[in-house]
Amino acid sequence: MYQALYRSYRPETFQGLLGQDHIVRVLKNQLDAGTTGHAYLFSGTRGTGKTSTARILAKGLNCLAPQGERPCGECAVCREIAAGVFVDVIEIDAASNNGVENIRELRESVNYPPAVGRKKIYVIDEAHMLSQAAANALLKTLEEPPANIVFILATTEPQKLPSTILSRCLRLDFHRVSEKVILERFIEICDELGVEAEPDALALIASNADGSVRDGLSLLDRCIAGAGVVTRERVLEFLGMCGQEVFLDLTGMVLDHQVGEALLLLDGALAQGKDVNQFARDWVEHFRHLLVVKYVSNPQAMLNMSLENIKRLQQQAERITLDKIKDSIIELSEALSEAKWSTRPRVIVELAIVRLASAGYAQVRPVLQETEKPDMPVAVRPKPTGPAAPVRDVPQAEPEALIAGPPQSESMEPIANPQRIEPEPQPVAHTGELSCEELWNRVMQDERISKMARTCGSVLAEITDHLFTVEVSNSIQEEQFKKEEKQLVEVVEEYTGRKRRLQLLLNDAETQESFL
Ligand SMILES: [Zn+2]
């Protein structure tokens, strides 16, 4: 019979428990010293090993191994507990067993000593779902615990438990398991199963597990189920374009003014059956996350996310301004309320994407783009064709439409220190949009500019509402550009639809000195 991975790879001893060393240490010490308590509260996010640990502790309390580490995982008791048939371990799902009848049963049952084991263990899962009456009954038992009875309460929401119960339990908080630990385990599992998997694919699963081993194993399970190699593409298929990386990507595209790519990404998500309104709502949530990581120094608990996913958010938050986050949330919220009444909500969300991606484009070129790209966890490959194709085929003869965004204050985007700008290739070929580089190429082809200025290899470093900054590498070039300032201003104005002053920048300190 087929068994789900998260069941067949459930840890049977402390050794197999992932990422909860702090808890293993406490419980092992207590078992060794014989100082285990009569009530525990295991709290933590789903899939971090709470019920597995409860079973391991139950085994440790009843293990028959004469010496060595307990639980051994091999004696009759350990095996029976693992199979869920040991009579003195009672697992109760509080969500479905919180009626009066269940409580009466429980209260009667705790009065009986263990039938065969040393200790009788009650594992109460989803303990926060206990009804008021059930919680009261449990409290009475916890106040006067019968001998040889141990309660283990497991919950994802400890704050919902009455403080009277909390105060009578030894509370152990389960951490989200780090991606590294999950990934290492997945590699082992694939080896054992003889499954071929791309390291990239497993890393993507580990990141989407968001600290939950069980969620990760379920996803791995589904990816393995189809025959063949587990590839990154297959994982993305199963993820259904709803993971955090989709919104990291989309926001990155918007920041880089990649309108076409952003529309293609939306198209891909909708093609997979994602609801357009839900998509926009999730995106707003992503901007909220960016807002939180920008201001909260330790946002892990607030966002309920793994450390690694927080780090990805922080990387993106570093390159987005508060104004941009604010504008994006407003823009998307407006689009959402508009889309609610529209028969074609998709076009409204598409329009919002275009607005967000082209806003402030004239202010600054995306200087951080090339250095930040390798850190972006996932790049969704745009399909070669799609409904967004017309956007990519903007007629090259009318560059004003794309280069001149709505007038905005210069504080909208961080203006990079011009001294540090290095000539970088712009992603012109991919987007079909007019970058600084392409604009400058056109200006430098204009006949009004002298051949000497045109061939000296200058770079348009930055363009703001009032200024365009040209980087030159020596003072001779600088002189030449000063002479032709009037023509340059004129040509740039023709291409961008706005009059701007010329600022010259000598970018090479050594050359600068030698020419002085
Ligand atoms: Zn044992």
Whether 410 is covered by a domain: the verdict is: no
Q: What is the whole-number distance in angstroms between the Cα of residue 76 and the centre of ligand 1?
A: 7
Q: What is the whole-number distance in angstroms between the Cα of residue 14 and the centre of ligand 1?
A: 12
Backbone angles phi, psi at 200, to 5 degrees: -60, -40
Q: Where are the beta strands (DSSP E) in 99-155?
A: 120-125, 149-155
Q: What is the whole-number distance in angstroms between the Cα of residue 79 and the centre of ligand 1?
A: 7
Q: What is the whole-number distance in angstroms between the Cα of residue 82 and the centre of ligand 1?
A: 10
Q: Which of 121, 150, 173 is the last residue before a domain boundary? A: 173
Q: What is the whole-number distance in angstroms between the Cα of residue 73 and the centre of ligand 1?
A: 5
Question: Rounded distance, CA 119 to CA 147, Å?
Answer: 9
Query: In terms of domains, do 153 and 98 share one?
Result: yes
Q: What is the whole-number distance in angstroms between the Cα of residue 8 and the centre of ligand 1?
A: 19
pLDDT at 368 over 50: no
117 within 8 A of 6, measured Cβ to Cβ: no
Q: What is the reported pLDDT for 207?
A: 81
What is the overall mean pLDDT for the chain? 80
User: CA torsion sign, 457 to 461 to 463 to 467?
Assistant: negative
ipTM of this predicted structure = 0.99
pLDDT at 392 over 70: no
Whether 269 is covered by a domain: the verdict is: yes
Q: Which domain holds residue 79?
A: 5-173
Query: In terms of domains, do 79 and 14 share one?
Result: yes
Whether 423 is covered by a domain: the verdict is: no
Q: What is the whole-number distance in angstroms between the Cα of residue 63 and the centre of ligand 1?
A: 4
Q: What is the whole-number distance in angstroms between the Cα of residue 62 and the centre of ligand 1?
A: 7
Residue predicted with more confidence, 303 or 198? 198
- Kind and range of the H or E run holding 239: helix 232-239
Whether 325 is covered by a domain: the verdict is: yes
Query: In terms of domains, do 153 and 183 share one?
Result: no
Q: What is the whole-number distance in angstroms between the Cα of residue 442 and the centre of ligand 1?
A: 78
Q: What is the reported pLDDT for 342?
A: 81
Partners of 469 in the beta sheet?
A: 462, 503
Angle at 449 between CA 445 and CA 454, to 5 degrees: 60
**What is the DSSP track for 27-88?**
HHHHHHHT---SEEEEE-STTSSHHHHHHHHHHHHH---SSSSS--S-SHHHHHHHHT--TT
Supply the CATH number for residue 72's domain: 3.40.50.300
Which tens digits make up the pLDDT trace of 122-171?
999 999 998 888 888 888 888 888 889 999 999 999 999 999 999 999 99
**Nearest Cα to Cα of residue 359 among 417, 398, 317, 409:** 409
Q: How confident is the model at residue 429 (pLDDT cuts 50, 70, 90)?
A: very low
When divided into structural domains, the chain yields a total of 4
Q: What is the whole-number distance in angstroms between the Cα of residue 59 and the centre of ligand 1?
A: 6
Q: What is the whole-number distance in angstroms between the Cα of residue 23 and the centre of ligand 1?
A: 20
Instruction: Name residues whose C-beta falls within 8 Å of residue 231's C-beta, 6 or more positions apart in sequence.
Output: 198, 201
Q: What is the reported pLDDT for 481?
A: 87
474 within 8 A of 481, measured Cβ to Cβ: no
pLDDT at 96 over 70: yes
Q: How confident is the model at residue 1 (pLDDT cuts 50, 70, 90)?
A: low
Question: Rounded distance, CA 201 to CA 214, Å?
Answer: 17
Mean pLDDT check: name the lowest of 41-55, 248-262, 482-496: 482-496
Q: What is the whole-number distance in angstroms between the Cα of residue 81 and the centre of ligand 1?
A: 9
Q: Which of 147, 173, 199 is the last residue before a domain boundary? A: 173
Query: In terms of domains, do 500 and 351 share one?
Result: no
The residue behind tokens 């090259």 is: 396
**Nearest Cα to Cα of residue 130 among 119, 142, 120:** 142
Q: How confident is the model at residue 434 (pLDDT cuts 50, 70, 90)?
A: low
Q: What is the whole-number distance in angstroms between the Cα of residue 144 and the centre of ligand 1?
A: 29
Q: What is the whole-number distance in angstroms between the Cα of residue 70 and the centre of ligand 1?
A: 6
Q: How confident is the model at residue 258 (pLDDT cuts 50, 70, 90)?
A: very high
**Mean pLDDT of the 49-70 span:** 93
Q: What is the whole-number distance in angstroms between the Cα of residue 17 and the centre of ligand 1?
A: 16
Question: Rounded distance, CA 46 to CA 229, Å?
Answer: 29
Backbone angles phi, psi at 436, to 5 degrees: -55, -45
Instruction: For the chain, give the number of residues.
Output: 516
Q: What is the reported pLDDT for 380?
A: 38
Whether 399 is covered by a domain: the verdict is: no
Whether 407 is covered by a domain: the verdict is: no
357 within 8 A of 258, measured Cβ to Cβ: yes
Question: Rounded distance, CA 453 to CA 481, Å?
Answer: 7
124 within 8 A of 164, measured Cβ to Cβ: no
DSSP H stretches of helix in 304-378: 307-318, 322-341, 345-358, 369-372
Q: What is the reported pLDDT for 513?
A: 40
pLDDT at 366 over 60: no
Q: What is the whole-number distance in angstroms between the Cα of residue 74 and the centre of ligand 1?
A: 5
Query: In terms of domains, do 486 and 508 share one?
Result: yes
Whether 227 is covered by a domain: the verdict is: yes
Query: In terms of domains, do 378 and 482 share one?
Result: no
Q: What is the whole-number distance in angstroms between the Cα of residue 396 and the centre of ligand 1?
A: 75
Query: In terms of domains, do 166 and 184 share one?
Result: no
pLDDT at 300 over 50: yes
Q: How confident is the model at residue 58 (pLDDT cuts 50, 70, 90)?
A: very high
Query: In terms of domains, do 274 and 344 share one?
Result: yes
Q: What's the token pair of residue 294?
A: 């920008």
Whether 428 is covered by a domain: the verdict is: no
Query: In terms of domains, do 166 and 17 share one?
Result: yes
Q: What is the reported pLDDT for 483?
A: 86
Query: In terms of domains, do 167 and 32 share one?
Result: yes
**Mean pLDDT of the 308-327 span:** 90
Q: How confident is the model at residue 360 (pLDDT cuts 50, 70, 90)?
A: low
Mean pLDDT check: name the lowest of 183-192, 221-230, 331-340, 355-364: 355-364
400 within 8 A of 495, measured Cβ to Cβ: yes
Q: Which percentage of the chain shows pLDDT scores above 90?
A: 41
Q: What is the whole-number distance in angstroms between the Cα of residue 365 and the centre of ligand 1?
A: 65
- Taking the mean position of all CA atoms in its chain, how far away is CA 247? 9
18 within 8 A of 133, measured Cβ to Cβ: no
Q: What is the whole-number distance in angstroms between the Cα of residue 419 and the centre of ligand 1?
A: 68
Q: What is the reported pLDDT for 83?
A: 93
pLDDT at 175 over 80: yes
Supply the CATH number for residue 362's domain: 1.20.272.10
**Nearest Cα to Cα of residue 39 among 117, 124, 160:** 124
Q: What is the whole-number distance in angstroms between the Cα of residue 84 and the centre of ligand 1?
A: 14
Query: In terms of domains, do 342 and 215 share one?
Result: no
**Mean pLDDT of the 228-256 span:** 82
Supply the CATH number for residue 460's domain: 3.30.300.180
pLDDT at 409 over 70: no
Distance (Å) of CA 24 to CA 80, 137, 210, 215: 22, 30, 21, 22
Query: In terms of domains, do 62 and 204 share one?
Result: no
